[in-house]
Amino acid sequence: MTPGYRGRPPPSALTVRAAALTLAVAALGHTFWLGVVEPGHALAFGVLIAVGELARWGALPGEREPAPLGAAGALAYALLGSSRGVPTSHGVLQVVTVVVAAHLLAAVPQAARGSGPGPDRVARRVLAVGFAAVCFQPLSNSGRAVRWFGEGPPFVVFLLVLLVLIALCDAVLAVLTAGNPRPFGPLLRDELRALSGIASAVCATGAVMALGVAVAGLWALPVLCVPLLLTQISFRRYAAVRTTYRQTIASLARATEIAGYTRHGHARRVAGLADAVGRELGLSGPELTVLEYAALMHDIGQLSLVDAVPGGATVALAPAEQRRIALLGGAVVRRTGVDTEVAVVVEQQADPYREQPTAARIIRTVNAYDDLCGEGVGGALRALEQLRLGTGRDYQPQVVEALARVLARGGLTPVPSG
């Protein structure tokens, strides 16, 4: 959430929720008044979506799509144009009705165990599926989709283009509901980059389900669910391994604090701020992972010192001593089995910025900022001023200005020295 909202959702998220609620009420009222068209298909897809939502059990915190089967089922119903060769005519509002009803049905056991989706995620699902249905159902029900694209490769290309538009719509909704103070463009870029994960499997499975039902009928649904369920299990196992790996690195990074070499929370603060600066500069997901691990372990070389640096502030040391500690840290990191890229960044964090990779430039700048604030130089603005004075050799100007923008959005609160 943005600092100014104090835990309340931002106006953009409230707008998305209001739009989803309006669409849901209109769809439920329309379907209640006119009745359900093709109830067998509505029931089958409704059950599939509800089961998919219930399958979010065991989801890890921060998982991008905890209910991929439900998302794929909803998308498949929105893209359903025929069943076993017979055209369907359920329409846009019935698609939304089935999705909403399935979420309401799944919400009962979810609420009992406290694992249900938040309102923003449900709003995103309703609006994204509604957008998919608006793009596809009118063309399908009027027969124009068949007349324009036929049933061969042109129709597949049409579906692929439609999936791209749906993914873009969902990414925009994700940014609007995120409540993140970063600019819209970088946030949208991050969301689009994330589509290469489970989101691409959801889109592909939803389209294949719709095509499978068009050829084989509703019996295609349980068969086509299995690959996505296996993908979901694999993603969760991979995410669990990564979480454990990160926790191990974070615990190792705290060794300098426990031993009294650095101030409490220093590594965690540097890692969090470095991640924000890296996103501001447009680093990709793998680059951000290396940046985070290196930031957590950037001071690990101080464990090799006989006498601790006062306050753990390496910014006040001579350049040669800073490089010696960085090389010692890189040697320690290499022995831990962490990725070699992380060790390289740790080793180069004290070099002149023109000789550093981007991650090392960010860590050097953020570490110096935290050290300067901890030394009581006069607050965050004074620390930034000193960093700007060092842009001739020590700190890259673009990184310093990115740090300034991040801090400005966060309120320029000085780092505690305790």
Residue 400 has pLDDT above 70, yes or no: yes
Condensed to tens digits (0 to 9), the pLDDT of residues 285-342 reads 788 889 999 999 888 888 877 677 776 677 777 888 888 888 888 888 888 778 888 8
- Ramachandran sector of residue 376 (left: φ over 0; alpha: ψ -120 to 50; beta: rest): left
* Cα–Cα distance for residue pair 13/140, rounded to 1 Å: 32
Q: Does the structure show a pLDDT above 80 at 232?
A: no
**Domain co-membership, 281 together with 224:** no
> Would you say residue 249 lies in a domain?
no
Assess whether 235 and 258 both reside in one domain: no
Q: Does some domain include residue 329? A: yes
Is 415 within the bounds of a domain? no
Last residue of a domain, one of 184, 215, 241: 241
**Which CATH number characterizes residue 347's domain?**
1.10.3210.10
What is the DSSP code string of 313-374?
A: -GGGS-HHHHHHHHHHHHHHHHHHT--HHHHHHHHHTTS-GGGS-HHHHHHHHHHHHHHHHH
Last residue of a domain, which of 241, 274, 304? 241
Of 22-31, 223-232, 316-325, 371-380, where does mean pLDDT reach its minimum? 371-380
Tokens for 334? 């290499």
Residue 246 lies in a domain: no
Which three-class secondary structure state does DSSP give residue 2? coil
Same domain, 204 and 139: yes
Q: Is the pLDDT of residue 2 over 60?
A: no
- Do the Cβ atoms of 217 and 84 come closer than 8 Å? yes
CA distances from 273 to 292, 297, 345, 412 (A): 9, 14, 16, 12
Looking at the structure, tell me whether residues 291 and 384 fall in a common domain. Answer: yes
pLDDT at 1 over 70: no
Q: Is residue 416 part of a domain?
A: no
- Mean of the pLDDT values across residues 211-232? 85
Lowest-confidence range among 55-69, 130-144, 279-293?
55-69
Alpha-helical regions (H) of 5-118 = 11-34, 39-54, 68-78, 91-113
| pLDDT band, residue 80 (cuts 50/70/90) | very high
Domain final position from 200, 217, 241: 241
Count of domains in the chain? 2
For residue 214, being part of any structural domain is answered with: yes
163 shares its domain with 235: yes
User: Mean pLDDT, the chain, as a whole number?
Assistant: 83
The pLDDT score that the predictor gives to residue 116 is 66
Query: What was the pLDDT predicted at 227?
Result: 80
**Residue 86: DSSP 8-state:** E
Let me know whether 118 and 199 are in one domain.
yes
User: Is 0.85 topped by the overall pTM?
Assistant: no
What pLDDT score does 48 carry? 92
Residue 393 in any domain: the answer is yes
Res 411: pLDDT: 47
Work out the pLDDT band at 67, boundaries 50, 70, 90.
Answer: confident
C-alpha distances (whole Å) from 373 to each of 102, 250, 367 are: 52, 22, 10
Kindly state whether residues 283 and 226 are assigned to the same domain. no
- Rounded CA gap, 318 and 82, in Å? 73
Q: Are residues 329 and 387 in the same domain?
A: yes
pLDDT tens-digit profile of 90-100?
999 999 999 99
Residues 227 and 271 in one domain: no
The residue written with tokens 């694992």 in the block is: 115
Whether the Cβ atoms of residue 125 and residue 163 lie closer than 8 Å to each other: no
pLDDT number for residue 234:
79
Q: pLDDT, tens digit, for every residue of 185-199?
A: 777 887 887 777 778
∠ at Cα 48 (44, 51), nearest 5°?
Answer: 135
Q: Are 157 and 53 in contact (CB under 8 A)?
A: no
pLDDT score for 414: 43
User: For residue 51, is pLDDT > 80?
Assistant: yes
> Do 186 and 108 belong to one domain?
yes
Query: Quick one: 164 and 263 in the same domain?
Result: no
Tell me which residue range forms the domain holding 178.
Answer: 3-241
Say if residue 140 is in the same domain as residue 215: yes
